[in-house]
Structure 1
Amino acid sequence: MEEMTSSPQSRRPLSSRPLARRAPEGLGIPEAAVLALAERLAAQGLDPHALLVARHGEVAFETAWAPYRLERPALVYSASKTYTALAIGFLADEGRLGLDDSAGLHVGEANPHGITVRHLLTMNTGHSAAQIERIGADPLILLREEPAFAPGTHFAYNSPATHTLSAIVTALTGEPLTAYLRPRLLDPLGIGERWMSPYGGIEHGASGFHLTVDDLARTAIMLNARGVVDGVQVAPAWYVEEMSRPWSETAAFDGPAAATGEVNDWALGYGYQVWRGRHGFRLDGAAGQFGLVLPEHDLVIAYQGATLDTQATLRAFWAFVAAVEVADAAGGADVAGGADAAGRADAGVADAAVSARRVERDTWAARDRLLAADPFDGAALHDRADGDGWTLVLPGVGSVPVDTFWQEVSVTGPALEDAPAATHLRLATRGERRDDGAALVHLVDTTSPHRVIVSRDGDGTVHAG
């Protein structure tokens, strides 16, 4: 272990100022390549919500697809795990635990099978996938159930292990996970007030964090810089280096399907709550929540979306990386442009909003290829008396107005996806009338990746999912 970093009280808090921005060409990125990436994500029906590309610590491109917004936090699922791992790194760096300590030592539980903190970090507790499915959120059960394999010898994706890490953080500090991270990580990164869902009486740790694409990018940029932010060592360098190593062999992991002959990006190893890939490593959440750290190219890609085909999302990223590699090999982003390209880059620096191509896009163009949440019963769709829209009635939510353009409405009711109970939900709705008399409505809770799709056939039959 390297020398410990300074205490959180002595770390210089950084402002939440915007990340620096520059034209793509000024960062060695062909503008055509980054625009092609955005188009590919949409054209393949991958339901992109937000994308940010940065190089050398500066933003080259950012965009959001309506009704999602760049500045609005949304659930990032298991990308949350990386923040839990970073909390463990801070505790280790402060001398409050060792990575090879017994996991039971820090939660006051028996640990008859010798599971360590490192086993939890690397998902190498030895439990089988079937065991993990029934263990649930209770650290006591995780530690006491005899693993099918010796700890340290078998990888199985293990959210209960990450939840146990969150329990360790709270047991050692007396604080929820995100409260402990606030002065050490979140404030220094310039990440504003965010919330993580509770689970089993403590913050989830394995999921539930709600972040913006900018938050993911700031985190990835910090990891790419070995824990440094604006010249300040925020996260311990020794730990950032360790967490990105492929500690666990994942070749047998039953992850998202790869194409025939294609490298499976979930089969290349697992670190401390990050996945290794054919390029670098990544924060990785269900349905396509990514923070890609590509040190070999000094490149970061932050992304939020909603698809079951997350390998296709990564495939789009790798095609973009290949274009950057070609440009690097040729000595610049615009081989033919010469001085003109340099001039465009200089002009871009003068106008941060234009240089980063902050463009608003829309998911509506791909509406017929998008995936809905689980089907449910009881929805009704009524034409409004003025004939210009509809009233959507959803069980547990109530009546929601719908027009032929995106609009935001607030309702009181249960969350559609992992949001606080008994709260006001801000929903986005849009609909259209079709030539055969049918109607199609999309309802999006923009604090989650998911949408509800309601269709009404020409005969009045309503389908919702």
Structure 2
Amino acid sequence: MTHAIAFPTAPPASVGVDAAGIHRFVDATERAGCDLHSLMIAREGKLIAQGHWSPYTADRVHLLYSCSKMFTATAVGLLVDAGELDLRDRVLEKLPWWLLKTDRSRIDPAWFDVTIAHCLSMTVGHDDDAWRRGTEGAFAADGKPADVDWIDLILRTRLDHEPGSTFAYNQVATYLLSRVVAHVSGEGLLPYLRPRLLDPLGIGPVITQTDAAGNALGFTGIHAATDALLKLAQLYLDEGVWRGDRILSADWVRRARVPFGPSNRDPQADPDWDQGYGFGLWCARHGYRGDGAFGQFAIVLPQQRTVVAMTAETVDMQRILDLLWEHVLPAIDRPGDPEADATLADRLSTLTLDIDEVGPFDAPAGEHRWVRAELIGAQVDPYSGAGRFPEHWSDATVSVADGRTTVALEARVGAFELTVTAATWTQTTWTFPHGASMPVLARGGWQTPTRFVADVIAIESPHRFRFVADAETGTFDLGWRLPPLTGTEPALLAPRT
């Protein structure tokens, strides 16, 4: 049984940080629409700032997207430290061939030169991210993973360059590492990490998305609380030592945090994505980090002896870093005071997501059955037509009782409910045919006498969607604020099995 270990806390001023700078950062991210979900900052191993934007909470796991790569790379590091892997090992020699159907004689010969180091550093040899073309056929039409080993799909691809000669951020590379960890250790990625990393750091529940055979994706899919990111960042800041115990070798940390191989060739790369890539870690203008789509961050600032963890739903990750460098970085080693500390603590205790207010309108009496129509695409708001749920989410029955609206949705993948009130977020759990489930929180009401809107958060992810209904036309629509990388089908986002 894992017992969560909390960071010791300290006022920012006591460790040489001006709390006003952190306060200004929080204000600036909200003005910029960065949509942070959590923020944790520690200096000298002490937690100096922590906040979660309601209804997100500290105990909830959150999809970390590509911050998962930091966990997978750390698992590789543990195996290297134990002498069970070498960075020069050929990846193909460390895969479970008895599970595969691939004829080795038909594989692109360049694959035989791909090493563990190439996968860690994204220098496999593909010209771009080969995941979509490499795993075509991995999912059935209903969203359930197809019964095929994804390694067989990946090895059909040809490499565009000699391994080690070019950088391309590539999910294929880290998926293969996840399979290597499982094969070499005899355990899955999370079971391997639990006694060696997660338990020693006091990291609580961690779950992951998997392929059809139950293999962790490695490059994405890990769900953990924000403090897991902060603890992992702190482990790297302290050269692999956690509270006096050596977890990871200093040699591994030093290798992982510096650029390996060619630089990013993307001429449109943002400044903090153009500083080189180590082993599962991006080098940055300040320090280095693990990061994940839509604003998941585990940031290590060695010169400042500071670590930062954040979760969010944003398309402009560089903006978050720019604001961090502008406001928080100068606040380190700048005198603070107790008043600023107290003001920041108050600010962080009252954070909440920004959603539309509903009007004081009574709901139409009785039960209403509505059909799907394109309502969201025509709106001028963050919810766009590009993020609409698949059309098989086709019918909705809406009923009102005791100030609470119940929405019953019908789709090819099942029947699902939302319970909606104007004052509070209400949770229901959606369970899908392949055994995965996803808790969702809804809040909303009638914006006009005929227009009903509910904001819905897939609370273990960065994502939220909107249910919109028009009582005059008897129609409704569903659309993501920012569509998940798994696509618009909710079943593909659900991690639990």
Q: Shared fold by TM > 0.5?
A: yes
Aligned to 1:175: 187
Q: SS at the partner of 1:33?
A: helix
**What is aligned with 1:391?**
406
Equivalent pair of 2:130/2:170 in contact (CA under 8 Å): no
> Which residue identity does 1:246 align to in structure 2?
P
Distance 1:168 1:200 in 2: 17
Contact 1:249 1:268 in 2 (8 A): no
State the partner residue of 1:362: 352
In structure 2, distance between residues paired with 1:90 and 1:99: 12
Query: Is 1:308 aligned to 2:315, yes or no?
Result: yes
Report the Cα distance in structure 1 between the residues aligned to 2:245 and 2:346, rounded to whole angstroms.
25
Report the Cα distance in structure 1 between the residues aligned to 2:182 and 2:249, rounded to whole angstroms. 20
Report 1:231-250 matches (<5 A).
Answer: 231-250=244-263
Aligned amino acid, residue 265 of structure 1:
D
- The answer (yes or no) to whether the contact 2:3–2:204 under 8 Å persists in 1 is no
Matched to 1:117, the amino acid is: I
What stretches of structure 1 move > 6 A for 4+ residues in a row? 354-357, 366-369
Cα distance change, pair 98–130 in 1 and its aligned pair in 2 (3 A): closer
Deviations 1:259-314 (A, max 9, x none): xxxxx211111110111111111111111111111111111110111111212222
Q: CA deviation at 1:173?
A: 1.3
Q: Helix, strand or coil for the counterpart of 1:199?
A: coil
| Cross-structure match for 2:14 | 26
Provide TM-score, normalisation by structure 1.
0.83
Return 246-255 or 68-77, whichever deviates more.
Answer: 246-255
TM-superposed CA distance for 1:143, in Å, is 5.2
Cα separation, 1, equivalents of 2:226 and 2:285: 22
The equivalent position to 1:413 in structure 2, one of 410, 414, 431, is: 431
- Give unmatched runs, 5+ long, in structure 1: 1-12, 259-263, 335-340, 349-353, 416-420
Contact 1:115-1:125 at 8 Å conserved across structures? yes
Q: How does 1:19-418 map to 2 (within 5 A)?
A: 19-107=7-95, 112-113=109-110, 114-129=113-128, 131-136=130-135, 138-140=150-152, 142=154, 145-201=157-213, 202-253=215-266, 258=270, 264-324=271-331, 328=333, 332-334=334-336, 341=337, 359-365=349-355, 374-376=387-389, 377=391, 378=394, 380=396, 382=398, 384-386=400-402, 388-394=403-409, 395=411, 396-414=414-432
Query: How many Å separate the matches in 2 of 1:381 and 1:54?
Result: 48
What is the CA-CA distance between 1:189 and the residue it aligns to?
Answer: 0.7
Going from structure 1 to structure 2, the CA distance change for 1:426 and 1:138 (only over 3 Å counts) comes to closer
Q: Does structure 1 conserve the Cα–Cα contact (< 8 Å) formed by 2:60 and 2:460?
A: yes
Secondary structure of the residue that 1:90 maps to in structure 2? helix
Q: Which residue identity does 1:271 align to in structure 2?
A: G
Bigger drift between 400-409 and 161-170 goes to 400-409
Cα distance change of structure 1 residues 31 and 129 upon mapping to structure 2, 3 Å threshold: same
Q: Structure 1 residues 40, 283: closer, same or farther in 2, change over 3 A?
A: same
C-alpha distance 285-131 of structure 1, shift in aligned 2 (>3 A): closer
- Which of 446, 450, 453 lines up with 2:463 in the alignment? 450
Distance 1:333 1:436 in 2: 54
What TM-score does the superposition give when structure 2 sets the normalisation length?
0.78
CA contact (8 A) 1:60 1:357 kept: no
Inter-partner Cα distance in structure 2 for 1:186 and 1:254: 38
Higher relative contact order (Cα pairs below 8 Å, separated by 6+ residues): 1
SS of residue matched to 1:296: helix
Letter in 1 for 2:398: H
> Which residue in 2 is equivalent to 1:3?
none
SS in 2 for 1:429: strand
Deviates more, 1:438-447 or 1:404-413: 404-413
1:214/1:108 Cα in 2 relative to 1: closer, same or farther (>3 Å)? closer
Letter matched to residue 68 of structure 1:
Y
Q: Does the CA contact (< 8 Å) of 2:40 and 2:226 recur in 1?
A: yes
Alignment length, in residue pairs? 424
Kindly indicate whether the alpha-carbon contact (under 8 Å) linking 1:104 and 1:143 is maintained by their aligned counterparts in 2. Answer: no
In 2 relative to 1, CA 369–266 (structure 1 residues): closer, same or farther, beyond 3 Å?
farther
- Tell me how far 1:408 sits from its aligned partner: 2.9
Instruction: Note if contact 1:194-1:211 (Cα within 8 Å) is conserved in structure 2.
Output: yes
Provide, for residues 119-156 of structure 1, a one-character-per-residue CA deviation record: whole Å limited to 9, x for no partner.
01101011121645311273355456441111101111
- How far residue 425 of structure 1 moved from its aligned partner, in angstroms, is 3.6
Local SS of the residue matching 2:199: helix
Query: CA offsets per residue over residues 383-423 of structure 1, 9 Å max, x none?
Result: 6145x3422233334232100023332334229xxxxx435
- The equivalent of 1:440 in structure 2 is 453
How far does residue 231 in structure 1 lie from its aligned partner after superposition?
Answer: 1.1
Amino acid at match of 2:37: H
| Aligned-partner SS, 2:251 | helix
SS at match of 2:467: strand
Aligned partners of 2:130 and 2:171 also within 8 Å: no
